[in-house]
Structure 1
Amino acid sequence: MRTFLVALVALWGAALPSFAQGGMMGGGFGGVSGRPLDTDLTTATSILTPGQQSEWAFTMKEGETIIAAATTTNFDPAIQIVDKEGKVLGENDDVRLGVQDALLVYRFAKAGSYKLLVKAFKGAGGGQFKLTLRRFVATDIKVGARTTSPPGGKSVQFYRFSAEAGQTLLIRNAPELSVFSPTGESVALGSSLQEQVARTLASFRTPAKGDYYLRAVSTRPYAFTVAAARVAPLTLGQAPVARKLGAGGVDIWTFQGTEGDFIRLHAKAEGTMIYAQLAAIPTPDSDDTDTREAIALFEVGEKTEGELVALLRKTGTYELTLAQPLGLETDYTLTTTKTVRGWEQKAPLKETLALGGTDYYAIDGKAGELLRLEGLSEQFDIELELYNLRGEKLTSNDDGGKGRNALLTALLSQTGKYLLRVNCVGNGGSGAYQLQRAPDPVRPLKLGERGIGTLSAEGTEIWSFTGKPSQALILSVRLPDFDTSVRIFGPDGIELAARDQGDSTSTLFGLTFPLEGTYTIWVSSKSGAGKYTLRLIEAD
């Protein structure tokens, strides 16, 4: 048997002592390329002869672990670990359903000589493949116990702990780290909390029951804790819940949500801060994009720590995660609602905005409807924002009305519910306010005649005209020297053309209409105020 012990030790470094490869079954390396990526990871490229196997001999210590992966697009690889008598101790064909690469984790109970075999599944196929090997001795730790780094300043250290399937585990004050599952796959680490907490707290969900391996990298002494989050069910709209959050702990509340639910969640802690984050729990057939897009979060004021306002875009299971950023023990009260107040717009609505708060209202709208709403307040600088039922902001206005009042104007493109958000600019004010429907602002524009208008700061004026299918017209707009925009909408509320004026004082639109009906021209001030003119003529 040909061996490459000297060459491999030189290439792969001291992490793989007594490690040799040969072609005992006619396989052989057929060329090898390896390099030390770090102190525990090695890669090599080899060629498998069809119908044969490649094998590597090595000596292992008691309690030593390897994570071996064979990847290729040329054949379906399989990995086996065998002892010196040829008994199969561990094997793997597919990482998981749908992934044909092989991945194997094995911990050696006894010191001795072993072999790693790479072959094609059922002996079919061959060709070039890549072998990746991670080799280490892990220190056993327990979930919930504090772990300190070993003496001597070792830069890479592995730890092993057991966990049940579906647990949410948290690693607080950890150094740079990665986690491997019982199958050897790398577990995605993240924090379901704000950046301030994420700096000291990483979290992950265990995909299966078994032993997990944590790889820590640091040249300085450290101490960390792997802890299981406290998980409890939650019913939206239930009575407020009082709870004590233990030192270093994290609470996770799970609940069922329905597409279109508008929810407000507020964890209030006396005398300290508490951070909250909402996430969708993935299903077996979902991906990261599905879970990210399942929630539309709305901005909350800086004075409302622990509050979340969200619109659920998908039906499913959600989790609310709560933590104290410094890991301090704290008492908190959790309040939840899943309703939003309706406003029919038939009469003015008078309300009071809490300090740093936001109010939301559900309003009905129809496709092609021109919506114009005023927000009035003498006590704070009121701002209005309009959202569709996917939580996407359609438009907003701060000072479009008189003084500091808001005047929001929107042409609706869909029939259904919309959300109106009321808040104070800067989130620092409070007091009484009034909402009311503003008069229809549309002015008719006749073909060939000149229209004259006056824009207020951040204001909008709307003109209408009748168009016919395939009719071709030219719209000329002349404006003073301030920043404006011009938009043209069809009878169905769909935008046909738009242009920001910038430094230009005039612009032309060439228009051909797809539908018969009433079209609208929106002239808006982005900054400044003044007069403008517009004219609609037949195209030659």
Structure 2
Amino acid sequence: MRRIVVSAVVLLASAHLFAQGSIGGFGMGGGGAGPGGEVMMFRKDQRAAPINPEFPPVPWQTQTMIATAGVGCEWRITAKAGDVLVAEAESEVFDPALRLIDEKGKMLAENDDRKEGVQTPLLVYRFARDQDVKVIVNSFRAAAGGKFNFRHFIFKSTTAKPGTTELEAPLNAVAEKLGLVGTLVHFKAEKGKTYSISNLQSSNEGDWYDSPVSGAFFGPSGVKSADFVELKNGTERIYPSNLKTIRALKDGDFFVIMPQFVGGQKFRISVNALPVIQGRKDASLNLTIPPRSGVLVSFPVVADDLVETTIKSGKEVINFLEGPEPPEDFAGLQTGVRGEGYWGVEDRFTWFQKRHDSDSVTRAFYGTGEATIIISNRSDKPTEVSVQNSVNLPKFADAQPVDANLPIAESAYYAFESNQNDMMRLRAVATAFRLKLEIIDYKGVVRNSFLDEANNRPGDDLFFPNKEKFILRVSCLGNGGSGNYTLKRDAIPTIPLTVGPKSALQLDGKNFGIYQVELPAKRMAVQVAYRGQLPNVMLLSESGQVMNRRFYQYDDYTLSVFTIDKPGKYRLWIRGGASEVQFKVSEFKPPTIDD
């Protein structure tokens, strides 16, 4: 079989491909063209999606080739200092690999699998000097070959130094001809560090104004998930477009495409590694943040910590808090879920605010580790910032009434805990506004809500099977009212009950009976006779488990049979609509034919 070697030279000024030697199977007209032969243009996919969906769309130059088994295909490239080569290959018949070789045969870069499980190599390389290089595509296993697609593009980049750099967008006739409008900005980053990126744009009058950092980032490997994490900016509600924050997962060259800047246009870009300041979840800090920069304030938290953070500063300062990752078995709500009012769910915590423009945010953390506040100064002047952390959210305790005032358009929050197998009576009253209560767990699930349209006295008798932490949210329905309110929480006492004697209970549809009885490890029966609506009978173990039963009904009489495996204290709960009830607990003795 005749050996086929394909080589190419990319001329940055014209983006023409000169094919040298035999190129049978090239798919662009076939035939050969030696030096001085036919000049053929790259086939161009205008802003086509790359093989890797994580990589930003660019006007790739694409070729379909056939590689002979054991023989690679190569492209010769004349690169200038600052050029950034991005290349990728894919094949359905063999596992391709990419290598970048300099004029002396030295390996500059190589890639086989862009990430685990994805056998389509991606190569990113920035040239520090002018040089001639070769890109070689061959099989990872030398014996394989066949049809493959090769894509590449060369960016002309400009470098941003640490701090603020004034730059001029380079002229790039090739990129503009191919439909790539904008400038590629290069900066260095170190693994584990967090960087803020913002920029200013020059007007025709010479003024400078904020400009969005709207382009895509890519890093040393071109695979976003392997190179960096893009962090949110601002509060849980506002994500400004003129500031980006990333955390580098690798050392090396990083890039951001600035689509609004074309050849010759001046702009200022700020790239700053953010310093880390150690704080506490119950302490305050006073900071001075440099212009166009920021800081990270880190403090330890544990799962189920409830921390209120208050940040006061100038208008040009924004902040965002990132919590530690939740445990692997954590099952929370989908990120971005918003409750009615000023609270919601992020991927690492549930957050609460008194009002939409409040300086304070209370967060219930899902995981244990370091919580980090990213505070960014968008102005051109230093800014003073105070950070106050507190773990003293108001408590809603048993037998301790709360009398407070709710300002207009605000919510109030109280922390409380339930015990295992807990019975609680919750009552509230307001006279000047329509009072609404919500019980929200730390995962952001609304477990119960209360609204009394008729009397404005919301509340209920509640049963909590497990020991758990909650937030009680107090608000005005519609957020339009204000005034005084009273909250009260009382434990519901149990009534002692013995096995054998008959007892009576008058139900009115709102009340219930809760009794504590000592039971042996036997089958036990609860017999109920009633006049009115059918009552509901429930037996709870000391741990709060609802016991299974066999249920029988005969006209105005019911029989519930429970199998008690462990002797001890149990709670009998009888509730329902208006009814006169008589009941007793006894050992269950199955009837026989002789009864």
Assess same fold via TM > 0.5.
yes
Matches within 5 A, 1:137-536: 137-150=156-169, 155-172=181-198, 173-186=211-224, 187=228, 189=230, 191-194=232-235, 196-218=238-260, 223-228=267-272, 230-269=274-313, 272=315, 274-280=317-323, 293-304=347-358, 306-323=359-376, 329-351=382-404, 356=410, 358-367=412-421, 369-378=422-431, 381-399=434-452, 402-403=455-456, 405-407=457-459, 410-425=462-477, 432-437=484-489
CA contact (8 A) 1:40 1:135 kept: no
Q: 1:60 to 1:286 in 2, by over 3 A?
A: farther
CA contact (8 A) 1:345 1:437 kept: yes
C-alpha displacement of 1:109: 4.8
C-alpha displacement of 1:261: 0.7
Structure 2: runs of 5+ lacking an equivalent: 29-41, 48-57, 199-210, 336-345, 495-506, 516-523, 526-532, 549-559, 564-570, 580-595
C-alpha displacement of 1:263: 0.9
Aligned partner letter, 1:193: G
Q: Deviations over 1:470-518 (max 9, x none)?
A: xxxxxxx9xxxxxxxxx99996799x9xxxxxxxxxxxxxxxx998897
Aligned partner letter, 2:44: R
C-alpha displacement of 1:182: 2.1
Aligned partner letter, 2:153: R
Aligned partner letter, 2:80: K
The equivalent residue for 2:340 is none
CA contact (8 A) 1:136 1:158 kept: yes
CA contact (8 A) 2:110 2:123 kept: yes
Aligned partner letter, 2:217: V
- Taking the aligned partners of 1:189 and 1:411, their CA distance within structure 2 comes to 43
CA contact (8 A) 1:3 1:21 kept: no
Paired residues, number? 474
- Taking the aligned partners of 2:562 and 2:471, their CA distance within structure 1 comes to 29
Instruction: Give SS of 1:183's match.
Output: coil
C-alpha displacement of 1:5: 8.8
Instruction: Give SS of 2:16's match.
Output: coil
CA contact (8 A) 1:76 1:121 kept: yes
Aligned partner letter, 1:203: T
Q: 1:276 to 1:109 in 2, by over 3 A?
A: closer
The equivalent residue for 1:115 is 134
Instruction: Give SS of 1:176's match.
Output: coil
Match 1:60 to one of 63, 76, 79: 79
- Taking the aligned partners of 2:275 and 2:252, their CA distance within structure 1 comes to 20
CA contact (8 A) 1:384 1:408 kept: no
CA contact (8 A) 2:26 2:64 kept: no
Aligned partner letter, 1:141: A
Aligned partner letter, 2:361: L
Q: Deviations over 1:235-291 (max 9, x none)?
A: 334432122334433332122221111111010236x475432213669x999x999
- Taking the aligned partners of 1:76 and 1:522, their CA distance within structure 2 comes to 70
Q: Deviations over 1:398-439 (max 9, x none)?
A: 446733x43256543533333323345566766654321379
CA contact (8 A) 1:175 1:218 kept: no
Q: Identity across aligned pairs (percent)? A: 23
Instruction: Give SS of 2:356's match.
Output: coil
Higher deviation after alignment, 341-350 or 386-395: 341-350
C-alpha displacement of 1:57: 3.0
C-alpha displacement of 1:16: 3.6
1:103 aligns with 2:122: yes
Instruction: Give SS of 1:68's match.
Output: strand
CA contact (8 A) 1:395 1:410 kept: no
CA contact (8 A) 2:80 2:129 kept: yes
- Taking the aligned partners of 2:64 and 2:396, their CA distance within structure 1 comes to 67
Instruction: Give SS of 1:359's match.
Output: strand
Q: 1:261 to 1:15 in 2, by over 3 A?
A: farther
State TM-score, norm by structure 2.
0.64
CA contact (8 A) 1:196 1:325 kept: no
C-alpha displacement of 1:87: 4.2
Q: 1:88 to 1:361 in 2, by over 3 A?
A: closer
- Taking the aligned partners of 1:74 and 1:202, their CA distance within structure 2 comes to 41
Aligned partner letter, 2:232: S
The equivalent residue for 1:70 is 89
- Taking the aligned partners of 1:50 and 1:462, their CA distance within structure 2 comes to 84
Mark the structure with the bigger radius of gyration.
2
Aligned partner letter, 1:209: D
C-alpha displacement of 1:386: 1.0
CA contact (8 A) 2:25 2:65 kept: yes
The equivalent residue for 2:203 is none
CA contact (8 A) 1:389 1:419 kept: yes
Structure 1: runs of 5+ lacking an equivalent: 443-450, 454-460, 470-476, 478-486, 497-512, 524-531, 534-540
Aligned partner letter, 1:376: V
Q: Deviations over 1:125-172 (max 9, x none)?
A: 445544331212211221322445538796222222222222222222
1:37 aligns with 2:46: yes
CA contact (8 A) 1:280 1:295 kept: yes
- Taking the aligned partners of 1:192 and 1:184, their CA distance within structure 2 comes to 23
Q: Deviations over 1:4-48 (max 9, x none)?
A: 899x99xx9987434648889xxx867589533346523444444
Q: 1:321 to 1:61 in 2, by over 3 A?
A: closer
C-alpha displacement of 1:336: 0.3
State TM-score, norm by structure 1.
0.69
